[in-house]
Each structure stands twice: as structure tokens, then as C-alpha cells.
Structure 1
């Protein structure tokens, strides 16, 4: 049994997309089952098993309500029936498992009693993953600035490892404090059964190759087609776009829109306005005031990880963060950049048909034409 538990923003969506494409040959050539779950209902969806784990763990995930947990409850036993029926190794992928506390880790491990459980942790440097997490929060409707987000991370980390392990709301550092995450799962399955896979960022298929090695399927590294292996499954917001969506989120809240209405207009703007642009601006980076803190966190986590003795696939130097200014550091967002993004956003939700009848009724088209 193999559990891929994230971290968030480490390339999990990319890996899940690849695994969904190669599930058949992976089972045939490596004996590893990547069971269908979401794709049974939505054939083009990225396959993950997170909703099924919500049925098992419920409100251990801070973002899951009791009502939603009840709705998801049947998914876990249905998934486990497939896992138990498979004569070989099964692979489940759910990045939210990186956020849970030790009693919940024990509960997950107990579900596989009698089987050897291996845990794969994919990780990326904090100066890439944490800014990406902030833009994801903005995309999901949050209203904290990037500076406020990093200040919150600092306050939470300063609570210390014991509080991070114990307190429900400190789940971000349960996931991103890499040494603590590895120790939590190694306590249940043994350090020799934990693999840490480093995502270097590029080329994208290097992550898949390292992951295939970690799960004992190196010979499957070339299974996906080139377009699948080199595809970036999730495109995040750039710095300019994140600032625009941040302002939109505040306006949505002030207007009293529901969470679902807000999500619908954001996705319409993103998919049809912002993401298709060719010149989208630089990605989000760690704010300069937080850079030294992030570099120190990375050093602490790397030292803690090395002390666990778990196997690492990749180069740990790729997880180091510099405290000095980097090429990715961006100046304040320029008004003209925001204006261009805002124009694309407006055009994404504007209805041309809404205005054309009014022009015809008022005879504007004829008058405008006579002035041409």
C-alpha cells in the first residue's frame, strides 16, 4: 500500500493527472492500482482520493463541515473495497493527509492493518510553495494580502512544534514543516517506509520520474505521452492577477454575494479572461520583509528532515531558500498592469448581446455609423 500525502503546492495535481492517464499500464506493468474515484463521474477530472479521505476523517480537516463529512462518508468504504480486492499494491493520493494530527494518522494507518504501508511525501522549496499557497487562497476567495499571509505564518510557526501538532487550526505548518510531517508518519509506518520526493520545479517531468522511482515503478517513467508528462496541470495566478482577484474578493464580500456565487464569477474571469493572456506578469514571490524568515524556516526544516534518516529522491539543496533579493522579486504592481488585467476580466463576463439590442432600439448604430 502506498499513500501519497502531498505537500500542497508540491506538484500533486500534476502527478495525479499523470497517474490518471497511466492507471491502466501502471497496473499491468507494475502491479500498482491507482483506483478510479472522481473519473467515474467526471471522466476529464484530475483523479485524487481526497474526497474519500474526507469521508474517513471528516472534521479533522478544518475546512470540512460535519454536514459535508456526512455526505462524503460512503466514499471511503467504496474506495477501500477496491483496494482490498486488488491482489497487488494500491496507490492513493490525497495531499490533505499532510495536514492531519497524529491520532488521525494512526486512524488512517489502521485502515490498512496487515498490509505494508509506504508513504510518499512530495515537497518543494518554501519560497516557491508558500507564495503559491497564498495565490491559491486568493483564488478560493480569501482577502488577506501576501504580507498579511506571511505575518500569519510567522505567528503560527512561533507557537512551536508542540502547538502545531496539537492545535486543529495550525494545519498549514503540520504540512509545511517537513521534518515534523515526516516524523508524524514515520511513527506509524517506520522511517524506512517513508520517501521524500523533491520537486525541482522544472522540467516538470523530472518530478514524475522521481515519483515513479519512489513508488518502485521507475520503468514506468516513460509511460505517459510527452504532452502529459510535460503538462503543468495547475496554472496559478500571477502577482498582478492575484492583486486584482484580491480586490474582487473584497467587493464580492461587501456586496453580500454567497461563496458559490463568488466562486462562479472568479472562475469565469480566470478561465476566460486572465489565464488565456500571453503576457500575464511575474509570479508571486516571497515579500522582501519575509525573505530572511522563510530562509531560516527552510534551514530548520532541512536539518530536521536530515535527522529522520528517511530516503530522499532528488537533491535536498533544491529545498534551500535564499535570504537575499532574487530575480523573481517584483516591484509594486503597476497601475497599467492592473488596468490591463481588469479589462480582460470585464470582457470575460460582459455579454455583447446584452448591449446590441439597446443600440438598435435607440438608433445609435446608424448615428455612430454616420460619424465614421
Structure 2
């Protein structure tokens, strides 16, 4: 029998002249597909409780149907899913890649090997904070975790109490921190898990400002004591200008823009606002702070102090008297209320003496007195 359409069949002997030679060929029609299923797993050998990332490598697929023997989840329609295996053994994996009515299947027997957890020593984790866990305001810190024990393979997960950020890896970099924070670290190795927390505290920056003294200004003071100081002129550090005040002395070029950097005991620093002085080549006026009378003197004399309000923020202000040999023969500390007149209680020898008003090695004024 023969059929031309697959439905109607005829007997050759009854309906056709058998004197002819028939050449009958049969063809199997093959349906073409544009989809090719393929995948990889990373890793394929794990310990119980660990996960495998299955990566789709199919060609032409727009949908995926996975089957994971022994895995969780057991099935997935994601393109590249993560699967966790809790029980030791070897497991098959199957992927059906689809595109419309087209599909292709990739099956791999015993593709995943899951071993019992080796356990090992208990996990120990050390966290190092650079430069430390106490951070200057708007400062930075790098946290580095180092684990030992377990299986030797470690997964680090960082979180903190300020937001929902999650960071993976052995290091966490924190920048521009302006408030205290609690950082949490979880380390896993095989079936072991280690948790710890690190407290980061923010140290307030020191105050920094400038007060100009004198008219015209000849003295710059930072009104915040017990700090470290560095003065700048026109954005350049002034050599040796590391006191609470900056006094350039006579015949100095004062014009320019000044600011001071302050630093506290925790090495946190701040910068003051700019302070501009427009006077050039200013010589301090004679007898600005001291007037001596009588001068010359036959013995006793008086040192009259004035304009000392300019120096009220300076600590350790003192008067000293020197002979011509450079020996300091008298000294008096000046308190903040400042006496208007001072009478040095000495029996003077004839000669020339130098009287200096100074603080911390800086001389604000020098006067001469002659005893005859």
C-alpha cells in the first residue's frame, strides 16, 4: 500500500499497472531549532551548606527551566541561579532552554559533588582599623579582617547601623564619617560562622579662628588655648609660626591673607577663616606697650604699660630686664588683669639696661633705660 497524503492508502497491485518499475523513497522531516542549551557551575565540588552559582551559556534562549537534584531551590526559572546543597552526595543538573516554541535540553549526571564539611579549627578573626577606631570628624578608616581556622575558605560580610549597605570582602573602607557608627562583620567558613562588631567613634575637630589686635593690626591671635598651631600667609606655612599668636615684629611685610591650622591631642585638625591684612612694611610704633620714666634715672624708675588689651589672650606674658652682658637680672609675670605701672625692686648699678616685653620667646617690645 502507498499513500500520497498520509490519510488515503492504495494497494499498488489493484490500482496500478505493475508492469512499471516503482522507485519509492522515504524522507523524515526534521524540525529546525534556534536554541542550544548549555551551562556551567562554579564551583562543582563543594562542602555541605555551600552554594553553587549556575551560569547560563545557552544560545538563543529567552526562558530557562532548571532542575537541581538535592539542591535548594530544587527548580528555578532564573537565568543564572544560586543553589545551596545541604547533604553530601553527587547530584544531577538539568536545563531546558526555551525561545517561544523552540527548546533544547542539557542534562549532566552527577555534575555536582558535595562533600561533608571538614570542620577544622574554630574560626578566629582579627580586625585591624587604620588609622584606628577613633576617627577625626569627616575622617576615613580602613577595616581589614583576617580569619584563621575553619575550612580555609572564608566569606566576609560587612553591615552597619547607619544604613542598609552590605559589603563583601575582607576590607571595608569608610569615608567622611561624621557620627559614631557600629560596624558588624560576619565570617563564614564551611558550616562555621563568626560574628563580631567594631565601634567607630568620631572625635570633634578643634576650634580655629583668628582675632586681629592693634590699630592697624600687628598681632594675630587664635583665641583657643591648649592646641597645636601652624600659621599660614598666602597659603604657605610660616616657618616657626607655631604659637597661639603670630607677631611678625618690626619692619615686616604684613600684607596678605592669613589663616591658622589648629590640632588637638588626637591629631584632629581644623583651619580658621581667612584673615586679610592690607598694611605693607609696617613698623611698630615706638613705645607701643611700654614707657619708662624717668629715663635716664639715678636709681628707681617706673615702667608704664599701655595697650596691653591687645595681648590679653596670650598666656605667659612677662617683663624681663637684662644687663649688657645678656644676663636676665629681673623678671615678672604679667597676669591678665595687667598692672598699669611696674616698679622693679632692685638696687641698680650704673649702666645701660634692656627691658623686654615677651611671651614664649617672642619679643613684642624692647626699651632701654640708663642708670647714672
Verify same fold: TM over 0.5: no
Q: Which has the higher helix share?
A: 1
Greater radius of gyration (CA): 2
Q: Which has the higher strand share?
A: 2
In the superposition, the TM-score normalised over structure 2's length comes to 0.17
Looking at both structures, which has the greater relative contact order when contacts are Cα pairs under 8 Å and sequence separation is at least 6? 1
In the superposition, the TM-score normalised over structure 1's length comes to 0.17
